Amino acid sequence: MCTHRVPLAFVAISIIGWPAQAAEPQRFAPAELEQDGRVTLTPAFSPDGKVIFFAQSECTPIWECPQRLKRSRRTPDGWSTPQLVDLPAEGRVDYPSVSPDGKTLLFSWAAARDRLPGAKIDSDFDIYTLDLTEPGALPRPIDEPDINRIRGGAVRTLRFVHNETAPQLTRNGDLYFWTERLDGPGERDIYVARAEGGGFATPQPLPPPINSAQRDTLGWISPDGDIMLLTYNTRAGLGGDDLFVSWKRNGVWTAPVNLGAEVNSKHDDFSARLSADGDTLLFSSTRPFEGQSAGLIQVWAMPVAEVPTLRNVIVHAPITPAGSEVSSAQPRQ
């Protein structure tokens, strides 16, 4: 259980914007975040829950549209109109996160780079950090050691190979992300670069049962590094991609458990995260909703209390939310 809790009814009304008694997922702040007609990916919360960062495309399909980094603030009525976070170049943005101390924004960004002159580089998602405490700070790539690989040459258009995405830091400084590497254990795997000497050690894939020979992706890891929300499409799911949870027992990751029909559908459900207070599950889904057929990626939310599998994990593996405030990244006006 979290060390401080926000009453569920308050969370459901003021953060999510739907009735507290709702027993199925609802779209997360669809009007405030201007989700209609736009691919919108699961947001990251600042540690105090007052700010979210998220990637959103201006249209669909996702691969043909600008995909930009946006920010929204908590208001007394919900969430503010999203503003663009000012970046020095164009390039699609993927799955941001905020460090547990609230000082650093991490995100995946496919901006053009002159890393290997003469190489034919395809759209290459790399992991970047942005200092939220310094106005006007510029994004900095985390290339070494062997973190951002170059998506060029023989792999320049091969699947998602050498795209690194969904970066997240734990309190002890470990960096988690997922990618595709031809020398990895599976087609798509979750990696961790352990904190070392003020930087990182060479990233290593997580062992089974987290990674497999198939597609294994990370949605969220708790600040203490003891709970993960994962996405699989080959492990006895309910449809396409399904949401799973794993937690550490005596220092070892448990076999991932499907979150069940309370959350998962026959459509793709992926990239789950928890709100800053740990009370609300958020995730991306292609499920249909009123006026929209299946296929458009939107952000959905549900109280953790309504997801028995996840609720039981959190009860037995408490999440201690960070208390630091996040400073304001400067939006593009």
Structure tokens of 162?
Answer: 């050498």
Q: SS3 for 225? A: coil
pLDDT at position 319: 61
Structure tokens of 102?
Answer: 């609230």
Give percent helix, percent strand, percent coil of the chain, each to the nearest 5.
10, 35, 55
Tell me what the mean pLDDT of segment 162-175 comes to: 97
pLDDT(9) > 80: no
pLDDT(142) > 80: yes
Residue 65 forms part of a structural domain: yes
CA distance 139 to 129: 5
Weakest-pLDDT range from 76-85, 147-156, 182-191, 277-286: 147-156
Residue 46 forms part of a structural domain: yes
pLDDT at position 316: 64
pLDDT at position 271: 98
pLDDT at position 11: 36
Q: What tens digit of pLDDT does each residue of 251-280 get?
A: 999 999 999 999 999 999 999 999 999 999
Torsion, Cα of 99, 246, 166, 300 (10° steps): -100
Tell me what the mean pLDDT of segment 211-224 comes to: 96
Structure tokens of 217?
Answer: 């992706």
pLDDT at position 320: 60
DSSP for 188-208, please give it.
Answer: BEEEEE-EETTEEPPPEEPPT
pLDDT(299) > 60: yes
Residue 333 forms part of a structural domain: no
pLDDT(308) > 90: yes
pLDDT at position 117: 63
Residue 1 forms part of a structural domain: no
CA distance 193 to 105: 17
Look at 121 and 250; give whichever has higher pLDDT: 250
pLDDT(25) > 50: yes
Residue 3 forms part of a structural domain: no
Provide the percentage of residues in the chain whose pLDDT is more than 90.
75
β-bridge pairing 140-141 and 227-232: unpaired
The residue behind tokens 């995730």 is 283
Q: H or E stretch including 315?
A: helix 308-316
Residue 30 forms part of a structural domain: yes
Domain that holds residue 220: 8-328
The CATH code of the domain that includes 221 is: 2.120.10
Nearest residue to 65 (alpha-carbon basis) of 34, 90, 33, 95: 90
Number of domains in the chain: 1
